[in-house]
Structure 1
Amino acid sequence: MTAHDRRVGAATLKRLRLSRGWSLADTARSLIDTASRLGQPFGSSLASVQRSVARWESATAPILPGERYQLLLAHLYARSSDGQHSLGPGSDFAELLGALAHLGESERQLHELRALLLRTATDAGGGLLALLGPTTQHAMHEALADPTCIDEELLAGIRTAVADVNHQVGSIPFVRLQLLLAPIVESCRRLLTAAVPPPLLPELRSIAAQAYTLAGRFAFETRDDGASRALYTAATDTAGRIGDPWQRAVVHMSHALVTLYSTPGIESARTLVDAAVRDARAGTSITVRGRAHALQAEIAARAGARQHAQAALSLAWYDMDGDRDGDPSSSSFSPAHLRGFDGLCELYVGDPAVAHAAFARSAQALTKPRERVQRAIVTTDQALARIRLGDPHAATELLHDCIDGASSTGGRVATIRLHRARQELRPWRTEGFVADLDDHLIDALGR
């Protein structure tokens, strides 16, 4: 951080304080009261806390607030003047995160701070209001009352809110993400049945399809398969009205994955994957095409069709190695994800040693918070490869980490894969390391 950056951060903190009409002493008292409310009372005096506030805002040598103070500031500024949670663009909370970034805080710490406050918002029953900035909140209320008021700025705000929820996968349990997304889904439904200006319909449909797809996955993860199917049906219909087939391919792929784990056999999932491949090939997103081919390879491998699986994998790598600059999809699918599919195909119709190496490379690269769920799945598959290589003890060491990951997010797929790996440990069920694993499974997942 440069000296200029730090001065910008300090000035932002000062502006936030003054916008609330607080003196340095007022801010110090608010921080002390917040700490007490959170069960973390200060041992410092009012004067000491006040001096800390002044140092953060110094025009000459500002300092970054410590982690404890950052948490308290976050709780202060996460609520608007009317007491409602407001974490979206333009909110005081967003301004606070910007100030902390200018003062030198890491992106990872700021992500964790934001995730923590989103948990707080869901505890309090917050949803849409917590994710939309003040201006967008007002515009949404007007649009729901009079759809002719909808404009591109409001749509951009809703899209940002959907992306925000998606970005929190891996940081916040699925049941909380479902709470955050539900008001957005309902708002999209209402707007799509209203007299929205025709030029804005394609963008609204695109946003709605993404929201329905995400909600369908969350319903699956929280074991509401009926709601999940209805949401995927709505997403498929809405995406089919957009114009570019790759967006419907995204819906088909997500639907295929949940179908694979909620419906016996693989035929229903295969039908969806084949539809995804057709749409992806007709669409303009190379990334989506690569992911569709990867899923096609997995389905083929599960069916024991080695040549078909290898051919689909080759197509996926051809897509992912191509020029994807300007790709219209915001998908996070990457070569690290594709290596996991390499491993799956080897696990089902190839060499478990090659599968193990592919899973290890994939897991090592999946380090972002958003990739935590996928990392748990890939690592569980890596453990399965170790079992098939005759090293069950080493496999259980990996599975302990996977249990913690599945427990923190509530991921259904990771949990299902964990139990399948446990079934393959039956020959060693009397061993102490398997008993320890069972205890961990029961403690963390209740089964």
Structure 2
Amino acid sequence: MSEHVRHLGATTLKRLRRSRGMSLADTARALIDMAARLGQPLDSSVVSVQRSVARWESARPILPSERYQLLLAHLYARRPDGDTALGTGSDFAELLDALRHLGESEQAVDELRRVLVRTSTDASLDLLALLGPQARVTLTRALADPRQVDEALLDVMRTAVSDVNREVGSLPFVRLQLLLAPVVESCRRLLVSGVPAPLLPDLRAVAAQTYTLAGRLAFETRDDASSRSLYVAATEAAGNIGTPWRRAVVHMSHALVTLYSTPGLEAARRLVEAAVRDARAGESATVRARAHALHAEIIARAGGENAQRQAWAALSLARYDLDGDRSGDPSTSSFTAAHLRGFEGVTSLHVGGAAAAHVEFARSAAALTRPREQVQRAIVTSDQALARLRLGDPQSAAALLHECIDAASVTGGRVATIRLRRARRELRPWRREDWVADLDDHMIESLGA
């Protein structure tokens, strides 16, 4: 890290402090007060903390320790008027930039941001928390006069949706739904207003992404009617863009929730086949790979005379697209080899062998380690438990289901909970065993059923 870059970090910290009219001593007292409110009191005097603040802003600045970074984050996540502001242009966002300039790793900065999103919205549930202060003003003006919509505002909305999506697995779905609500409503109002024509394709792309995520969140919170309505809106918005891969993304998300909210496979199958058609007509190899993998799962679940051959053919296409050159891929989807192994495991479980399925599930679960992947890992692990059960090891299967309970209780994931309960039903022949009773107790304590 060059001295010039570190100086930028120090200058940003000084500017943030002065913008709030705080002296070095004021900042020290604010950090001591914040530590007390968080239940982590500092065993330091005002003078001692003030010296630390001064060192962060000096000509040869040092990086604040992790503890002070957390206190600074809580301090600057709140605007002077008391509202939470975590988005682009906020003091909090500038603090994170300052920490990067002072040498903090991107991973540590991301984790600090995740902690603040989780804890700040716990306390305030400020529905505009993920929008910066200027973005709030700009969005309000744009809703009053759509002619004021510009690329910068669309970028802010797009970032807010990505921020909510990034917290899947870290925050309960009901809270994510609330955080996304202002963007959903803004898309609805702007799409029927006089937004300048050149901006309509980008607005529709933002709306398609927003409605798709909102549809998934509504499903997870068991509001199936709202979920269906949002997916219809997402499909319409994506269909008006002229890039088929975007509509394929909507179809795939819709298919997955339909699979668990509608009896039978037919409705989900139609959506998956539509996704495959759009994906093949689109420019995204990543989206094609995911569409083919989901098609394989639907084929395997349906069964039939040629199911095994057709499912493995679809998986071969998915692997081909995933292994190819995806540089410049227009989709930002996180579909990876670990996700594909999960689909390969499901296919083996239904039309192959339990041993092969178990191997694929284990490899997939081991690679799904990021917070964003916690929900998918719980799903894969519940399927792995089924594979163990079919291999004749029910007690080991129950041990895996304990892990799934913990993950499902954190996120409130509906699919993970459904897969978990289906796996538990397979343990009925051993219902009198103590280890099954322990599993049931864990489910009741964590999931209420």
The TM-score range, normalised by the shorter chain, is over 0.9
1:340 maps to what in 2? 342
Range that drifts further, 264-273 or 131-140: 131-140
Deviation sequence 1:225-274 (CA, Å, 0-9, x none): 11101111111111111111111111110000000011111111001101
Instruction: Quote the residue 2:83 is aligned against.
Output: 84
Shift of 1:177: 0.5
1:267 counterpart residue number: 266
1:431/1:114 Cα in 2 relative to 1: closer, same or farther (>3 Å)? same
User: 2:320 matched to which residue of 1?
Assistant: 318
Give the Cα separation in 2 of the matches to 1:433 and 1:51: 57
> What does residue range 285-434 of structure 1 map to in structure 2 within 5 Å?
285-304=284-303, 305-434=307-436
Q: Which moved more, 1:203-212 or 1:24-33?
A: 24-33
Unaligned runs of 5+ in 1: none
In 2: Cα distance, 1:217 partner to 1:163 partner: 14
Alpha carbons of structure 1 residues 61 and 238: separation in structure 2 relative to 1, 3 Å: closer
Change (3 A) 1:63 1:201: closer
Aligned to 2:173: 174
Amino acid of the structure 2 residue aligned with 1:89: T
* In structure 1, C-alpha distance between the alignment counterparts of 2:403 and 2:5, rounded to whole Å: 39
Are positions 1:20 and 2:20 aligned together?
Answer: yes
Secondary structure, aligned partner of 1:130: coil
Deviation at 1:17, TM superposition (A): 1.3
Matched letter for residue 417 of structure 1: R
- Could you tell me which residue of structure 2 aligns to residue 41 of structure 1? 41
C-alpha separation in 2, matches of 1:417 and 1:66: 39
Per the alignment, residue 52 of structure 2 pairs with 52
Structure 1 residue 319: deviation in Å?
Answer: 1.2
Cα separation, 1, equivalents of 2:23 and 2:289:
56
| Corresponding residue for residue 97 of structure 1 | 96
Go from structure 1 to structure 2 and tell me whether the alpha carbon gap of 1:410 and 1:376 turns closer, same or farther (over 3 Å shift). same
Q: Verify the 8 A CA contact 1:64 1:105 in the aligned structure 2.
A: no
C-alpha separation in 2, matches of 1:75 and 1:434: 44
Q: Percent identity?
A: 70
| Counterpart residue identity of residue 273, structure 2 | D
> What is the one-letter code of the residue matched to 2:403?
D
Equivalent residues, number: 445
When structure 1 is superposed on structure 2, of 395-404 and 307-316 the one drifting more is 395-404
Q: Distance in 2 between matches of 1:382 and 1:7?
A: 51
> Which residue is equivalent to 1:215?
214
CA RMSD of aligned residues (A): 1.6
TM-score by length of 2: 0.95
Deviation at 1:22, TM superposition (A): 1.1
TM-score in terms of structure 1 length:
0.96
Provide the rounded CA distance (Å) in 1 between the counterparts of 2:101 and 2:400: 38
Instruction: Give the conservation status (yes or no) of the 8 Å contact 2:61–2:102.
Output: no
CA distance in 1, matches of 2:56, 2:407: 36
Aligned AA (1:58): S
Partner in structure 2 of residue 224 of structure 1: 223
- What secondary structure does 1:21 align onto? coil
Question: Would you say 1:244 and 2:252 are equivalent positions?
Answer: no
Structural mapping, 1:109-124, within 5 Å: 109-119=108-118, 120-121=120-121, 123-124=123-124
* Superposed displacement of residue 287, structure 1: 0.9
Moved more, 35-44 or 381-390: 35-44
Aligned to 1:438: 440
Say if 1:160 and 1:334 are closer, same or farther in 2 by CA, change over 3 A.
same
CA distance in 1, matches of 2:133, 2:57: 25
CA distances 1:68-98 after superposition (whole Å, capped 9, x unpaired): x222211110122332211111211011112
